[in-house]
Amino acid sequence: MQRNSHDNAAEYIRSFQNGEEKGFNFFFREYYAALTYYSFSIIKDKSEAEEIAGEALMKLWKRHENFNNQAAIKSFLYTTTRNASLNYIRQQQRTEKKLREAEYLAEKSEKDIFEFLVEVESYREIVIALNALPPQCKKIFSMLFIEGKDYQQIAEELNLSIATIRSQKARAIMLIRQYIAYCVMLFLLLHSF
């Protein structure tokens, strides 16, 4: 009397749980093609999809003693394949972003890159110079040039005369110029070519 397919599946599950190659081969034949197709539908790369399917089956094999029914095996394989496929896509996106950034930088000439670095360093020096200003100078300078307020608004807000505001502005500009003179000179020299 021939046993039905349910009995055969139960036999393969027992074989698989016991770490027998016969059990693994059954599940490999049963799911490899479907897992490859599933991964390919997500990542659109056949060779990588085959790799992901194979890795999912190997992960299953490493945990063979934990599975006692085909539904659990199937669920594990599809979940593992989906997660690996999504991880592959995320990795590809990071790689593509890095390539685009590298291509962008490669398109720039050395002079463009040098000018950009000088600009960035000049900005950094200006920020350092602003932070080094005496508190009243810094506050007035920020209100004028960052917040865009006029002399009258600042005078009313800080309860100072307009002459004091002008004096503090002039002092701030003088201190900033002294602090970053070499950056401005370098920037001007660079842009004179």
Same domain, 164 and 148: yes
Quick one: average pLDDT of 100-117? 65
Using one digit for the tens of pLDDT, what is the confidence trace for 166-186? 999 899 888 877 777 765 666
Same domain, 100 and 148: no
Same domain, 59 and 149: no
Q: What is the pLDDT of residue 159?
A: 94
Same domain, 21 and 87: yes
Averaged confidence pLDDT in the chain: 80
Same domain, 11 and 100: yes
Same domain, 10 and 99: yes
Q: What is the total count of domains within the chain?
A: 2
| Helix pair angle (21-43, 46-62), 10° resolution | 140
Q: Which two tokens stand for residue 121?
A: 């360093």
Same domain, 18 and 93: yes
pLDDT band of 4, cuts 50, 70, 90: very low
Report the CATH number that the domain containing residue 134 is assigned in CATH: 1.10.10.10
Q: Give the structural domain span for 177.
A: 108-191
Report yes or no on whether pTM surpasses 0.75: no
Please list, in sequence order, all residues whose beta carbon lies within 8 angstroms of the beta carbon of residue 169, skipping any fewer than 6 positions away. 140, 141, 144
Report the CATH number that the domain containing residue 43 is assigned in CATH: 1.10.1740.10
Same domain, 48 and 124: no
The total of other beta-carbon atoms located within 10 Å of residue 176's CB is: 20
Quick one: average pLDDT of 140-148? 86
Q: Which two tokens stand for residue 97?
A: 């972003």
Same domain, 49 and 61: yes
Q: What is the pLDDT of residue 9?
A: 72
Same domain, 15 and 43: yes
Asked if the model's pLDDT at residue 74 lies above 70, the reply is: yes
Quick one: average pLDDT of 118-130? 73
Using one digit for the tens of pLDDT, what is the confidence trace for 36-65? 988 888 888 899 999 999 999 899 889 878
Q: Which of 42, 70, 104 is the last residue of a domain?
A: 104
Q: Which of 76, 104, 132 is the last residue of a domain?
A: 104
Same domain, 89 and 112: no
Q: Which of 65, 86, 104 is the last residue of a domain?
A: 104
